[in-house]
Amino acid sequence: MVFKAKRTFALSAVAACAALLAAACGSSSPSGTSSSPTTSSVPKISASSFNLSFSAMKEIKSLAAKGKGNVAAILPDTVSSTRYVEFDAPYLKKSMELAGLKPSQIVVQNALGSDATEYSDAEADITKGASVLIMDPLDSGVGARIESYAKSHGVPVIDYDRLTLGGSRKYYVSFNNVEVGTLLGKGLVSCISSWHVAKPQVMVMRGAPTDNNATLFAQGYLAVLNPLFSNKTYTDVANPAGTWDPPTALTEFEAAYTAHPGINAVLMPNDENGAPIIHYLQTKGIAAGTFPVTGQDATLTGLQNVIAGYQCGTVYKPIYLEAQAAVALAMYLRAGDTPPSSLVNGQAEDVTSKVEVPSILETPEWVTPSTVNSTVIKDGFVPASQLCAAPYTADCTKYGISG
């Protein structure tokens, strides 16, 4: 398995004091007349501490005064998902602010789909005083180069959302990406059944081959679908090379659909790629509730396709959890403290370097029309006023969506 859960236990007061002996584990008595050893003042939070109120960030605020330098975060693009602009960037900034960093110590950038820009941003950030780098690599090639450069300058890197294969980062923060794929596969199976698709002719689409997350997603959904292909319950019709570029995904689909017009279900790895394909199917007269398509990222368009009956569901990843986890790790590293074992709740395998990377892995959710209100609307991820705008008002009423 790529992801390995592990149980963690808090260090005893004695062990913590011994481990931090160099930091003079002790303090003066209130009267100032005597002193005795005490436990470390390093705050302890866990992977389950994060929530929509961002309260965990305030619990680690004392770390800000202990560290020096900036915390810089570099996001990859604005095309593969709208999440990076709409959610990751503001959540990362909010987490840093609540954790006690000054505005001048906060850097959040977007590489805009360019390897060269991502690398130059990292160089500039380190030159300008970044003491920790949070990075979502466009691909492992540029990610490994950035991490090598950062390591040579004594700057620890946290891989954010995507793992850099062959890299040298200290930690990895993401969602359980194999589970994301499993949810996609199970979602398609459920939809094929509930939509009464006869003799499923399935097209399996992938994300970009250079993205390790796309590989992990595929690992999850193929574990669900391959047995159904093997026993002839489903027919595996087409498997394009993969992309995160929506126009390219549409071209791949059109070519396969023209060659195999019997295709009647698509495993789609995200909402952005699925949207133009769903529109294309609508122009072909495909009715709602007849041609299952999956998705991921809980985008506004994806959710509207879900409640309208053109998309089976979408994998929702509460990004506020991921952003807080990354910033929490960064604050411990910036302060020169070891993150508590209760925070680092898993491992991810770097299959290139053959190493297990200490990780924080959050849990994704599968969202269908009946759970939209209790997930993305409750979390404020998508405002009900936007989701339910015409022509989706009746769909929201049907599923009791409001907010």
Confidence tier at 41 by pLDDT (50, 70, 90):
confident
Q: Are residues 222 and 272 in the same domain?
A: yes
Q: Are residues 118 and 213 in the same domain?
A: no
What is the spatial distance between Cα 224 and Cα 188, in angstroms, rounded to a whole number? Answer: 10
Q: Are residues 169 and 188 in the same domain?
A: no
Range of the domain at 70: 3-25+38-176+319-362
Whole-model pTM: value is 0.82
Residue 403 located in a structural domain: no
Residue 30 located in a structural domain: no
The total number of structural domains that make up the chain: 2
Structure tokens at 168: 């040298």
Q: Which CATH number belongs to the domain containing residue 18 in this structure?
A: 3.40.50.2300
Asked whether the predicted pLDDT for residue 297 surpasses 90, the reply is: yes
Q: Are 356 and 347 in contact (CB under 8 A)?
A: yes
Asked whether the predicted pLDDT for residue 136 surpasses 90, the reply is: yes
Q: Are residues 202 and 131 in the same domain?
A: no
Model pLDDT, residue 80: 83
State phi, psi for 216 to the nearest 5 degrees.
Answer: -70, -40
Q: Are residues 289 and 261 in the same domain?
A: yes
Q: Are residues 251 and 295 in the same domain?
A: yes
Confidence tier at 40 by pLDDT (50, 70, 90):
low
State phi, psi for 189 to the nearest 5 degrees.
Answer: -60, -45
Q: Are residues 162 and 245 in the same domain?
A: no
- Give the chain's mean pLDDT: 90
Q: Are residues 297 and 339 in the same domain?
A: no
Confidence tier at 3 by pLDDT (50, 70, 90):
very low
Task: List pLDDT tens digits, range 47-57.
Answer: 999 999 999 99
Q: Are residues 7 and 144 in the same domain?
A: yes
Task: List pLDDT tens digits, range 311-350.
Answer: 999 999 999 999 999 999 999 999 999 999 999 999 999 9
Q: Hey, is 202 helix, strand or coil?
A: strand
